[in-house]
Amino acid sequence: MAATIKDVARLAGVSQSSVCRALAAPDQVRPATRERVHQAAAQLGYRPNRVARSLSTGRTGNIGLVLPDIANPFFPGVVKAVQRRAREFDLAVLLADTDEDPAAELELIRTMTKQVDGFLLCCPRASDEDLRSVSGDTPVVFVNRRVGHLPSVSFDSADGIRQAIAHLAALGHRRVAYVAGPRSSWVNRERLRSIRSVATAMDLEVVEAGNVIPTLEGGIAVADQILAASVTAVIAFNDMIGLGLLSGFNARGVNVPADISVVGFDNIPTAGLVNPPLTSVDMPKEQCGRSAVELLVQLLNDREGRASSRRLLPTQLIVRGSTGPAART
Amino acid sequence: MAATIKDVARLAGVSQSSVCRALAAPDQVRPATRERVHQAAAQLGYRPNRVARSLSTGRTGNIGLVLPDIANPFFPGVVKAVQRRAREFDLAVLLADTDEDPAAELELIRTMTKQVDGFLLCCPRASDEDLRSVSGDTPVVFVNRRVGHLPSVSFDSADGIRQAIAHLAALGHRRVAYVAGPRSSWVNRERLRSIRSVATAMDLEVVEAGNVIPTLEGGIAVADQILAASVTAVIAFNDMIGLGLLSGFNARGVNVPADISVVGFDNIPTAGLVNPPLTSVDMPKEQCGRSAVELLVQLLNDREGRASSRRLLPTQLIVRGSTGPAART
DNA sequence: AAACCTTCTGGAACCGATTCCAACAGTGGC
DNA sequence: GCCACTGTTGGAATCGGTTCCAGAAGGTTT
């Protein structure tokens, strides 16, 4: 059996309360006592029971990280950063993968609520109202999504789109396709809005291709439709779709970028490895994870201050081999 | 404030104990009482506090998943499966990423011990003794590693190597390089041992190239050394190194597979996307995650039975474009 | 020397569930 | 009509910490 606070108290010849104070609030206890307690604790290898502590303090020391699909290569970078930063605040990370199912998102959140001090929620599918209600119960930082003025960390994808379109325009492209992601995805709606307004502003014609599941297969499946649209470039909702397009084009003997240029979003690690390497809008994933934890910790320490706690991270177009001068039509 | 068991008891006009029983052991309570309790609970939206439950039962309902690097594309598939299967057993997953640091592995485990009922440990770097000691304290299933006869889920990489080498031999390769991974990695030692014995058995000459960090950069860096070794094929410790080799060869104008064949391990999603696609030994990652959870649950329910609880998962060579007939030398 | 203050300490309540034990009612057997 | 038994219930202890409160010990001020 592991040593409890009682064992330490007995060995040190003091009361439980003193042990507790010696460890938690060292300046409230006489140095001599403190020393005895520390020695006893060390001797027994005492580690406070976090569960018991949680029960009395109401704090669990856990944060919940909810995301739609850890197998999506966008997330591991975020998760890693969250994990590392959380550890620095002595917080453990409870992971929940919702399999892109909005009902599962809510259910998992409800289940975990009592076990965590706060949430980092990356729930692209859940409705705003549902998310608001969660945020009312528990401290929440939204990741890669904005919900009203609630705390969030998101990416400036409008600017990323601006960079991408400016890049294509500079290469002489006048008519561009956009492959939309899942209709229910917040990011998809956001990107769609941006792309329309930027395209108008830059006087570029945009053809929207149907909503596609954001996987390789989705990209492959939509390749024909893009080719039929007689565009010289295509912007994909994310890199997985972009890679699928590359693969689909390749299978049909269409040359990238000579015949058509491709731009993706997220800049996942694989983007730079394929041939031609995929031009993509980079999202600073590590910074996202770090910032999200920091915001949440701030929220945990101070229940107010929510107003100002939104962070918009910069995006950056990474130009690679999949984009080139517009093909003559 | 959230409703507690007392609130439910008051509303239903029964004692706490009855509420508890009505919810946990319905057959020990009269149907009428049970009904009243259920109604009261529903009316208040009562959810038992898991922390409090943990304190009295000694069970947390959490399992700890420790792994070296979630950004390694091998892991997301495993994590996802773990997560899903754990949820089916009503277990939450605490994730810890150790950043490939053996000291961190141990420290994180110690920290989490009180918060979890058991561990899934993917600790390639920690020593056998340390892991044994952890296993003495808490139920543990080792993932992608075997430690004595302790419960584990691992891959039959010896057979994978056999398949890879047979494939190369059939293509006429006689002299093959092996790029080793981190010296301290258990999997690396395992693969090295297998490759030596298989090579001897099949009368193939194997040149071992230095230990390399298992990343793209590691693979790129070792490309020159491989070219200097005058081999017709190279087997990489894992796909990241394999992809690095492809990239390095490509940069030097070496043609794959005409000039040299490349085989990787893990069959990460990217392997099939590059050009040429990478031949790789597939590890069934989802099955690994599922089996690991099942083994752990079994272990939690029955403290004995450890002896027989080791699972060896089959591997399978996926032949793609990066391997071809041996170049004439 | 008395009054007062500060610093330190121990006892006990508390967090919210689970579970052991005793008490009780109702049933059936004799 | 009494006893034993089963089925149901409430009271209270328990898990292992944290924290409030009261009191002891020691020092300072008048």
Buried b (16+ CB within 10 A) or exposed e, A138-162: bbbbbbbbbbeebbbbbbbbbbbbb
| Chain A residue numbers touching B92 (CB-CB < 8 A) | 94, 96, 111-112, 115
C-alpha span between B293 and B35 (Å, rounded): 35
Chain C: positions less than 7 Å from a protein CB are 7-12, 14-20
Average pLDDT over residues B75-94: 94
Helices (H), A185-234: 186-201, 216-228
Contact B80 A71 (CB under 8 A): yes
Enumerate the residues of chain B whose CB falls inside 8 A of the CB of residue A94.
62, 92-95
What pLDDT digit, counting tens, does each position of B249-270 carry?
Answer: 999 999 999 999 999 999 999 9
Output the average pLDDT for chain A: 91
What are the φ/ψ torsions at residue B21 (nearest 5 degrees)?
-65, -40
Query: What is the nearest CA distance from A172 to chain B, expressed in angstroms?
Result: 28
Q: Say yes or no to pLDDT of A31 above 90.
A: no
Amino acid code (one letter) for B38: H
Distance from CA of B265 to the nearest CA of A (A): 17
Q: Please give the pLDDT value at position A329.
A: 61
pLDDT band at A107 (very low <50, low <70, confident <90, very high): confident
Q: Which residue is nearest to nucleotide C12 (CA to C1')?
A: A17
Chain A residues within an 8 Å CB radius of B271: none
Q: How would you classify the pairing of strands B175-179 and B152-155?
A: unpaired
Q: Which helix (H) or strand (E) holds A77?
A: helix A75-88
Q: Is the CB of A228 under 7 A from strand C?
A: no
CA distance B105 to chain A (A): 13
- Strands (DSSP E) found in A11-113: 62-67, 92-97
- Of the candidates B220, B217, B242, B270, the residue with the CA atom closest to the CA atom of residue A274: B270
Angstrom distance (rounded) from CA B70 to CA A76: 6
| pTM of the model as a whole | 0.90
pLDDT of B27: 84
Instruction: Provide the CA A327 distance to its chain's centre, in angstroms.
Output: 36
Quickly state the pLDDT bin for B105 (edges 50, 70, 90).
confident
CB pairs under 8 A between A and B: 121
Q: Per-residue confidence at A102, pLDDT binned at 50, 70, 90?
A: confident
DSSP at B179: E
Can you say how many angstroms the Cα of residue B272 is from the centroid of all Cα atoms in its chain?
21
Which residues share a beta bridge with A119? A64, A140
Closest CA to A269 of B305, B323, B130, B70: B70
Token pair for residue A314? 């910069």
Write out residues 234-293 of A within 8 Å (CB-CB) of B.
243, 247, 250, 269-270, 273-275
Euclidean distance between CA atoms A215 and A150, whole angstroms: 30
pLDDT of A70: 93
| Both structure tokens of B326 | 């041996």
- Is the link from the previous residue into A257 a cis peptide, with omega within 30 of 0? yes
Q: Got the DSSP string for B301-328?
A: H-SS--TT-EEEE--EEE--TT--SPPP
Structure tokens at B228: 């200097």
Q: Where are the beta strands (DSSP E) in chain A?
A: 62-67, 92-97, 118-121, 140-143, 152-155, 175-179, 205-209, 233-236, 261-266, 279-282, 310-313, 316-318
Question: What's the pLDDT at B68?
Answer: 92
Task: Render pLDDT for A123-170 as a digit per residue (tens, 0 to 9).
Answer: 888 889 988 988 888 899 999 999 988 999 999 999 999 999 999 999
Name the helix (H) or strand (E) containing B279. Answer: strand B279-282
Cβ pair A270:B275 closer than 8 A: no
CA gap A119, A294 in Å, rounded: 12
